[in-house]
Structure 1
Amino acid sequence: MAGTSKWRRIILAAILAGFATSAPAHAELPEPVRAMIDAAIATGDEAKVRVVADLARATNPADIDEINAIVAVFEAKMVAKHEAEAKAKEEQIRTAGLFENWSGKGELGGFRATGNTNNTGLTASLTLDRQGIDWRHRFTGRVDYQRNSGVTTREQYLARYEPNVNVSDNFYVYALAQYERDQFQGFDARYAISGGMGYQALKSDAVQLSLKAGPAYRVTEFTDGRSESRIAGLVGIDFDWNLTERLKLTQDTNAVAETGGSAIAIIDSRNTSIDIITGLDAAIARKLKARFSYAVEYDSNPAPGAVQTDTLSRVTLIYDF
């Protein structure tokens, strides 16, 4: 009996050995595949890592779990890195001084005017922007100037400052102070202040749309010495549409997002002013672009001798800094 048990054990061991030989063994991830994934991870490019990992899974289906584990470690490190960078950026913004964290753009080119003047000349503008955690500050200045045979035939100045603060993801509160001077339209100075609510209706990489409205107060000093002060209302619309990576159409409220176009209306019982600028921006280099814009400036009750509507066609170069 003892001999029979011995032979049974030998036969059982042989059978088990045969199963072990015929069963497919799990192979480790091939070294060239691992090296390819490690090289993608070394770049820190998340999109590249995803592409390489997908190729590795497709060509090595038996090693999907190991590939997923490698990618999961990388993704966890990237999440931690992004969180640390966001925290550092927020802290830098909170502790920045008054003259820090400003960005802007300068614009220089020519214009063609019709209406109270019919001429061509030079146009220049400067926009400064400071983005905080909840607050944003924007300053815009613009000059259109032309002289002919020693005589000034167009001289228009605009300065505008607007702070706004977010109260939710889509709503914000704005304030606005604006100064204008255009003797050819019949006023030496025109001041306006306003405050109200704004709403971000659309916000995506391709299209942005925001609306705002509020009461306003305006003082106009005419060239004939008269002065008028009136309560008014302000309405504005901002619209940006990225047609392609290098081409953008703008039709925006100039007090909220001066990105090449503006449309703002100040309405009172005596005189309604509407400023509309439609622009088309074409990228030339990373910080340089060309702008083609058409502006309409309308006053329903202009000074004596002035017409209601002026238009300006501008061709300019813009440098971002």
Structure 2
Amino acid sequence: MTKSFVKRSGAAAALVTLFSATPALAELPEPVRAMIDAAIETGDPGKVATVIELAKATNPDDAEELDGMAASFDAEQQAAAAAEEAAKEAKIRSAGLFDNWSGEGQIGAFRSTGNSSNTGVTAGLKLERKGIDWRHKFTALADFQRTNGVTTREQFLLAYEPNFQLNDRLFVYGLGQYERDRFQGFSSRISTSGGIGYRVIDTDNTQLSVKAGPAYRRTSFINGGKTSNIAALAALDFDWRVAERIKLTQDASAFIQSGNSTYLSTTGLEAGLGGGLSARISYAVEHDTNPPAGAVQTDTLSRFTLIYGF
């Protein structure tokens, strides 16, 4: 019996020695874990990826645990982004008619005296409302100038354009536009159009969209005559953020019809001043192929304005 007890004790000691010789699973060092937790707290995927890669390089035995931490962070980020997008969509769907509008107002003026006395003012307003599928744009622009006590420019434009997104790039649009420019020979020109558009480029820094469709124009002239025409509209809208505070814009449109077609191009350069303010210089060219008697075919206008975005 004594021999049996000794044998059993020897076997137990051998098993203890065997398991003691087996190394324990590696555990991520506390300083490394703290560093990863600090990176996760920032919410910056780039920082988290960098820290975890460094941790894997210095602690290769913990690669599986580190991969798990990375996967967990990615899942949390995706869930947070989905929740944010759902909340944004719910807010848009529940918004009232006057909610979710953004835009900009611009104003410029000049005064000169001497050989001639000139006073001029230009003012404009652009509003835009983006929904889930719908987008609404409203534009108002006015230019007025007097030279030696005589009005030499009096130009007004109002336009409203809704469009509906068919997919990320393709959309259909409608347009209603009113113009008045008695120095171009008309007291009012009303244009309507509907058609299809496409966003050729749509990135954070560059946007380019084109559109085209049939149009209808009704013009009332200063001399009392009126014309109504079926036309075609083609237009483009280009914005390019050249630098953080510098943006180049180009808008162009063409109403093509029998009798008198109209081509318009406006090129602008904006410089951010901070606090929502920016300065803008623009050059507009309008060409009518057959204007009323007494009006020139090509009219140009340079504007220097201060813009406030909201």
Contact map agreement 1:111 1:315 (CA 8 A) in 2: no
Matches within 5 A, 1:4-153: 16=18, 19-20=21-22, 25-110=24-109, 121-153=120-152
Q: Aligned partner of 1:181: which letter? A: R
Matched residues, number: 302
Q: CA distance change for structure 1 residues 89 and 17 in 2, over 3 Å: closer, same or farther?
A: closer
Q: How far apart, CA to CA, are the structure 1 residues paired with 2:59 and 2:121?
A: 65
SS in 2 for 1:82: helix
**Hey, what does 1:207 align to over in structure 2?**
206
Aligned residue number for residue 114 of structure 2: none
Aligned AA (2:136) = H
Distance 1:57 1:244, change over 3 A: farther
2:28 & 2:46 partners in 1: Cα distance? 22
The answer (yes or no) to whether the contact 1:111–1:312 under 8 Å persists in 2 is: no
Deviates more, 1:200-209 or 1:140-149: 200-209
Return the alpha-carbon distance in structure 1 between the equivalents of residues 195 and 19 of structure 2.
83
Task: Give the superposition deviation at 1:81.
Answer: 1.6
CA contact (8 A) 1:108 1:123 kept: yes
Contact 1:196 1:214 in 2 (8 A): yes
Partner in structure 2 of residue 301 of structure 1: 290
Task: Report the equivalent of 2:253.
Answer: 264
Q: 1:36 to 1:158 in 2, by over 3 A?
A: same
Contact residue 235 and residue 253 of structure 2 kept, 8 A: yes
Whether 1:290 aligns to 2:290 is no
The CA distance in 2 between the partners of 1:80 and 1:204, in whole Å, is 24
Aligned counterparts of 2:16 and 2:45: Cα–Cα separation in 1: 51
Residue 301 of structure 1 aligns to a residue whose secondary structure is: coil
C-alpha change, 1:14 and 1:128, in structure 2 (3 Å) is closer
Matched, 1:217 2:216: yes
Corresponding residue of 1:258: none
SS of match in other structure, 2:295: coil
**Which residue of structure 2 lines up, in the alignment, with residue 278 of structure 1?**
267
Comparing 47-56 and 9-18, the one that deviates more: 9-18
Q: 1:220 to 1:36 in 2, by over 3 A?
A: same
Structure 2 unaligned blocks of 5 or more: 112-117
Counterparts of residues 122-201 of structure 1 (less than 5 Å): 122-201=121-200
Q: Distance in 1 between matches of 2:201 and 2:249?
A: 14
How does the TM-score come out when normalised to structure 1?
Answer: 0.85
- Aligned residue number for residue 315 of structure 1: 304
Q: Which amino acid aligns with 2:210?
A: L
How large is the RMSD of aligned CA atoms in angstroms?
Answer: 2.7
Aligned-residue identity in percent = 55
SS at match of 1:66: helix
Bigger drift between 280-289 and 176-185 goes to 280-289
The corresponding residue for 1:256 is none
Shift in CA distance, 15/197, structure 1 to aligned 2, threshold 3 Å: same
Q: What amino acid sits opposite 1:73 in the alignment?
A: S
3-state SS of paired residue (1:243): strand
Question: Which one-letter code corresponds to 1:275 in the other structure?
Answer: L
| CA displacement at 1:151 relative to structure 2 | 2.4
1:235 aligns with 2:234: yes
How far residue 66 of structure 1 moved from its aligned partner, in angstroms, is 1.9
Deviation at 1:121, TM superposition (A): 2.7
How far 1:139 moved relative to its partner? 0.2
Sort the Cα spacing of 1:295 and 1:37 in 2 relative to 1 into closer, same or farther, 3 A: same
TM norm structure 2: 0.87
Hey, what's the Cα distance between the residues in 1 that align with 2:16 and 2:72? 43
Name the amino acid aligned to 2:282: S
Query: CA deviation digits over 1:199-229, x for unaligned, max 9?
Result: 2222223332222111111011111111111
The Cα offsets for residues 168-200 of structure 1, whole Å up to 9 and x where unpaired, read as 232211000001111111111111000111122
Cα distance in 2 between the residues matched to 1:319 and 1:243: 19
Paired amino acid for 1:167: L
Cα deviations across residues 123-161 of structure 1 (Å, max 9, x unaligned)?
Answer: 211001010110110000011112234322211111100
Q: How far did residue 164 of structure 1 move?
A: 0.5
Unaligned stretches of 5+ in structure 1?
113-118, 252-261
The answer to whether the 8 Å contact 1:273/1:300 transfers is: yes
Go from structure 1 to structure 2 and tell me whether the alpha carbon gap of 1:34 and 1:172 turns closer, same or farther (over 3 Å shift).
same
User: Does the 8 A contact of 1:174 with 1:196 survive in 2?
Assistant: yes
Distance verdict in 2 for CA 1:66–1:18, change over 3 Å: closer
1:250 and 2:249 equivalent? Answer: yes
Report SS of the residue matched to 1:284: strand
Task: Report deviation, 1:111.
Answer: 7.9
